[in-house]
Amino acid sequence: MNEDALKGYKGEARNTLEKFGVRVWSDAEVTTSRGLFKGIILPRSENDDDQHIVLKLATGYNVGLDINTIENMIERGYKEAHYKIPEKEFPTSPDKPNVKLLGTGGTIASRLDYRTGAVIPAFSPGELYGAVPELADICNLSTEKLFAVFSENMGPKQYLKLAEAIGEEIEKGIHGIIIGHGTDTMHHTAGALSFMVQNSPIPIVMVGSQRSSDRPSSDAALNLIHAATAAAHSDIAEVMVCMFGPTSDEYGLLHRGTRVRKMHSSYRSTFRTLGDIPLAMITRDKITPLRRDYNRRRKDRNVKVLPFFEEKVTLLYYYPNMQPDIIDAIVDCGYRGIIIAGTGLGHVNKPVYPAIERAVKAGVVIYMTVQTLWGYVHMYVYDTGRDLMAKGIIPTENMLPEVAYVKLGWALGQTEDPEEVKRLMLTPVCGEITEREPYNGYLVYQGGIPEIEAFLKRFHR
């Protein structure tokens, strides 16, 4: 059997396929000690173990069969052709807005064919059109792959390149931008871009998918449709994240880039606007703003790109019994800025005080955020807070810890002057510090918890 026919399989799993003469992409019947399974043999990633063979069942779900349970395998057909995303020419029309999709990677870039459930990359406009033809009803789409990484590998270098690419597209006259991105760190990148790309005249919409499109519950296609609609037609000219609102596919939400955070490791409705309410609800054919205080779309091209980032900045999540050596080590490693995610209103324990003093004396700037995520830093309430401020720690109101981290990197990338850094940090650019938090922000409009959905529906219909 040739190499390619057993794509990705190795060791004992490979031997099993060879023994029964069954290829990847074949339609197979597998007799196991747990019963009979019928489905398509899927390719296996290089990093997976050699103890399982993965089958896509007719229901669309994948099962991993333990090779030790396999008694027999028969190839009934071969369906590779069905798993190719048909590359069709993306139809363009002069009356549709032009949208650019900048790809960075993540699940959304690697698996997109929601009709056939294929597990293959799709990226060119033609492939995207083949997979999600609805896109052509929304806009004229062009694409550019900037990176192909899972989002834990995104960082300052990628933020700078993205910001510059966005600036160039805007200057060239594009009507909207979509950024395909892994969901895990999408909120870091959204924060960084909110500071690096200011005064955008067009929507900049980040989108990802929580479930790969080889699963029937994939959110990839609908998120992409929503993101294209937002990029092409919304009048919100800001950096936003567009993802599922509730767990169902009823609507998506547009979140402001500085107030959004991934909050669940697997729910499709994982993104939440924290400390505020989202910008808008979005369905296939309608954008419903939930607030009015956003930057409007404009015809000019006067975008301000500020691509700066100091990498020697860190985010320190406080835990009880933290020792001062941690802070000393950060200073010794040459870090210039620390964001602390403190407890409650913004606290750390007394044993770290001397290390904080040493850090401040060494010229390291230290800012406080809250690990509660909702609410404000209030350092006047307890003596701990007052002590910490006296030592030079600066509270950041209701800035989210990750947002404060990227903002401090951005600020220190521009200036060495601590007063100027402070001015930049405490001057809101795009909603990262707000005057007050809406009392109903978390519960209203953000759905995602079935019981709350059901409860709200009684009032909302």
Helices and strands of the chain, counted as H and E runs: 13, 21
Residue 47 has which token pair? 């990093």
Interface residues for ligand ASP in 230-259 (CB under 6 A)? Answer: none
Among 106, 275, 395, 401, binds ligand ASP (CB under 6 A): 106
Q: Which residues are paired to 141 by β-bridges?
A: 99
**Could you give the string, one character per residue 258-277, with x where binding to ligand ASP holds by CB under 6 A and - elsewhere?**
--------------------
Minimum distance, C-beta of residue 149 to ligand ASP, in the bound complex (Å): 7
Query: Which of 227, 359 has the CB closer to ligand ASP?
Result: 227
Residue 119 has which token pair? 């597990």
**Could you give the string, one character per residue 167-196, with x where binding to ligand ASP holds by CB under 6 A and - elsewhere?**
---------------xxx------------
Among 39, 208, 275, 385, binds ligand ASP (CB under 6 A): 208
In terms of phi and psi (left: phi > 0; alpha: psi -120 to 50; beta: otherwise), the region of 8 is left
**Could you give the string, one character per residue 354-393, with x where binding to ligand ASP holds by CB under 6 A and - elsewhere?**
----------------------------------------
Residue nearest to ligand ASP (CB): 182
Rounded distance between C-alpha atoms, residue 211 and residue 249, angstroms: 13
User: Any long-range contacts for 121-125 (C-beta under 8 Å, 24+ apart)?
Assistant: 122/85, 124/87, 125/90, 125/101
Among 98, 151, 258, 273, binds ligand ASP (CB under 6 A): 151
Minimum distance, C-beta of residue 271 to ligand ASP, in the bound complex (Å): 11
Interface residues for ligand ASP in 399-438 (CB under 6 A)? Answer: none
Size of the site for ligand ASP (CB under 6 A): 9
CB contact set of 129 (below 8 Å; sequence gap of 6+)? 88, 89, 90, 91, 135, 136, 141
Among 78, 150, 267, 374, binds ligand ASP (CB under 6 A): 150
Minimum distance, C-beta of residue 269 to ligand ASP, in the bound complex (Å): 13
Q: What are the catalytic residues?
A: 107, 183-184, 262
* 353-361 helix and 383-390 helix, angle to the nearest 10 degrees: 20
Minimum distance, C-beta of residue 270 to ligand ASP, in the bound complex (Å): 9
Query: Which of 211, 297 has the CB closer to ligand ASP?
Result: 211
Query: Which of 190, 237 has the CB closer to ligand ASP?
Result: 190
Among 26, 107, 369, 384, binds ligand ASP (CB under 6 A): 107
Query: Which of 98, 104 has the CB closer to ligand ASP?
Result: 104
Rounded distance between C-alpha atoms, residue 153 and residue 98, angstroms: 29
Among 116, 140, 194, 210, binds ligand ASP (CB under 6 A): 210
Alpha carbon distances (Å) from 360 to 313, 390, 418, 435: 14, 11, 11, 28
Rounded distance between C-alpha atoms, residue 259 and residue 64, angstroms: 39
Vertex 181: Cα angle to 397 and 201 (nearest 5): 65
CB atoms within 10 A of CB 266: 7
Contacting positions for ligand ASP (CB under 6 A): 106-107, 150-151, 182-184, 208, 210
